[in-house]
Structure 1
Amino acid sequence: MSKTGFRTFAAGMILSTSVLGGTYLLSDKEQAAAKVEKEVTEADIKTYLTNNNKMAIDTDEYEEFLASKNAADQKEETKVAEQPKTEEAPKEEAKKVEEKKEEVVSYKVAIKDGMTTSEVSDALELNGIIESSKEFDKFLISNDYHTKVQLGTFEVKKGMTFAQLADVITR
């Protein structure tokens, strides 16, 4: 840039700064402050609550509500505990154990070139191997497994820990 270009640029900066400064000094400061300092009254709060189908209660009323809710929960727990166990209860428990054994889900995950760890974890979540793909992806990254994932097809099972899954796909 030439010498006259710099002078023109500087003159423009001085002119624009002068205009902005004059506007600031000559503006009505009281009007701007009045817009910011609006107080919220109790009537405003009540209007807001009624318009949005909400209700305000005292802290004491809230504490009483929580205490009654906890008491009701405890009564329900004691009723369940007091129920006598029948001879069918062990049979039902055995069925539940068998169902859990049958729920063993295995899946062959295929890791291809260009796949990210989030795509792998999403596939595992979709097939019921893990609960949360985000948590598994965080685990892989925080333990530096994300750089060691291998290409290929790996068999994984539901119930494996994140560490076990990571060991399988990084072999």
Structure 2
Amino acid sequence: MTPNTLRSFAMGLLVAATATGIVYLLEPSSKPASKELSQEEMQTQLEDKGFVVQTQDELDKQLADAKAEAVQAVGKEPKEEKEEQPKEEEAVYRTIINVSSGMTAVDVGEILEKAKIVKSGFEFYKKVEGQGVENKLRPGTFEVDSGMTEDEMIAVIFKG
């Protein structure tokens, strides 16, 4: 290509880009104008889509009526919910940990923490270090759960 041909090509690109930009900027927007809705219009639109719209006062009155009906049905004031609920048992989390060569006791602690088996992976590592078995990981697949003590987990995963 000669320099004149190259300049002509560049000038053509510049003219085409400028024309395209002008057309884009002068074209009327295809977006509809944003309209501010009144409360009634919003409520009507929500109700048309199947939502139930209530004011806080209406909700409070409805809850009070429901409580009054419950008192009439039972014949006495219901107990507070806190008293009725039995103490919940703590969930037991179970995981399978695959220990491969090159892993450290810190890695095992982090995995157990992410699986919600121990509260702190670092504290678990400190306990392992305290027993002097941090370098005695057994390669393999082990099943542990949050119901086990840390000593039991260490006995399963590390060579004692």
Alignment TM class, shorter chain as reference? 0.3 to 0.5
Higher helix share: 1
After TM superposition, the score normalised by the length of structure 2 is: 0.46
After TM superposition, the score normalised by the length of structure 1 is: 0.43
